[in-house]
Structure 1
């Protein structure tokens, strides 16, 4: 299976390929895995497809994780690969390390990951481990380096990002207040401030879903 086939397969499942790489001994995988393909939502169509799924409608916990496990797990089996997920641990698969290995994802100025097309709305639903090589695309330039104002640095209303880490306690305390309703309903202001994020097509209802999972 070549990259074109994988791109088409991802699109058919309302996913997009966020990058891929050839793992080595530092990536925590066996020698039989020749390529790792990272998968995220294909916006803006992903959310409506997810809303139509049985996982979303059945009222049971963790609907998006269960959807991801079913869809990506079934696809992996179809093509003779292995599925990996950023949930279900511990132990957890090192998605942060894997993302950086693709050459299409980088640490942003606020340390959250940024993707060339998804911006700060990048998220991983899972990954495929394939027993064959898929040529890797040339590494891209980090978009933050040409972003003059870097609005993500100052967008958080409570300065939860200082460039070296993320103060989750300060963030949660803000989300408990009336002033935090904007972040709850529309998504993190710092993520939204990224110029790439603004053109990505993330549906507000999806951001609300994730924020409620992060801050029940």
Structure 2
């Protein structure tokens, strides 16, 4: 059983309703946390420092059919369509439940990765993507809901960081230009390769290093989803 901080039964029921609203779009709650009094929290719905945050994201490619249906209905949205869809969906849920919606692409950037590590107890993989014990590298955070009140949150259980137990680190050996190394991510080398004549495999099937990871294979994004993300990465805009 997962321990809970807080004791409000109403809070659990209320979060289930939020989860149901997100599930209608293929999204899910990815943990939450209450801000400490000395934390520099972003503004909540009342424009005062928020008291709590629920992270919203995905596991595998569950949102893809919902996003593609929206895209067919909104062909005029050409720039950052997935981000636009995510913002609209999460904002609509926020409005229903008295929250303020925020996005990882908001400026100034909010500490989504730090929130995720606290909320779900995750650690970064060698690629920089957070390693999830079940989803592997095949998950994402699409936004968050900020609240003016504290919420009931799950206390993440301690789990083995899969990267610590991984032999050989195949995620560090699949890239033909060694864009990911112990020195970090070489963005320029990666982008040049993906855009170049030898980058077909990456353009059509996604990052070779990411696909080499053995964990969370059941949640691996289909090739069309990976190609979509890679096209966005390689876009000159």
CA distance 1:8–1:83, shift in 2 (3 Å): same
SS of residue paired to 1:45:
coil
- The C-alpha deviation readout for 1:70-95, integer Å capped at 9, x for no partner, is 10001011111111101142x11121
Check conservation: 2:61, 2:225, Cα contact below 8 A.
Answer: no
So what's the TM-score if we normalise by structure 2?
0.80
CA distance in 2, matches of 1:100, 1:23: 14
- Provide the aligned C-alpha RMSD in A: 2.2
Displacement of 1:9 in angstroms is 2.9
Report matched runs for 1:103-142 at 5 Å: 103-130=120-147, 131-141=149-159, 142=161
Tell me what 1:151 maps to. Answer: 170
Check conservation: 1:119, 1:197, Cα contact below 8 A.
Answer: yes
> Rg larger in 1 or in 2?
2
Moved over 6 A (4+): none
Tell me what 1:44 maps to. Answer: 61
Once structures 1 and 2 are overlaid, which stretch shifts more, 147-156 or 181-190?
Answer: 147-156
Tell me what 2:4 maps to. Answer: none
Tell me what 1:62 maps to. Answer: 80
Displacement of 1:125 in angstroms is 0.9
Check conservation: 2:33, 2:53, Cα contact below 8 A.
Answer: yes
CA distance 1:94–1:7, shift in 2 (3 Å): same
So what's the TM-score if we normalise by structure 1?
0.87
More contact order relative to length (CA 8 Å, sep ≥ 6): 2
Q: How many residues align?
A: 215
Check conservation: 1:153, 1:190, Cα contact below 8 A.
Answer: yes
Check conservation: 2:131, 2:137, Cα contact below 8 A.
Answer: yes
Tell me what 1:18 maps to. Answer: 30
2:41 aligned with 1:28: yes
CA distance 1:187–1:168, shift in 2 (3 Å): same
Structure 1 residue runs without a partner (length 5+)? none
CA distance in 1, matches of 2:180, 2:90: 33
Once structures 1 and 2 are overlaid, which stretch shifts more, 160-169 or 98-107?
Answer: 98-107
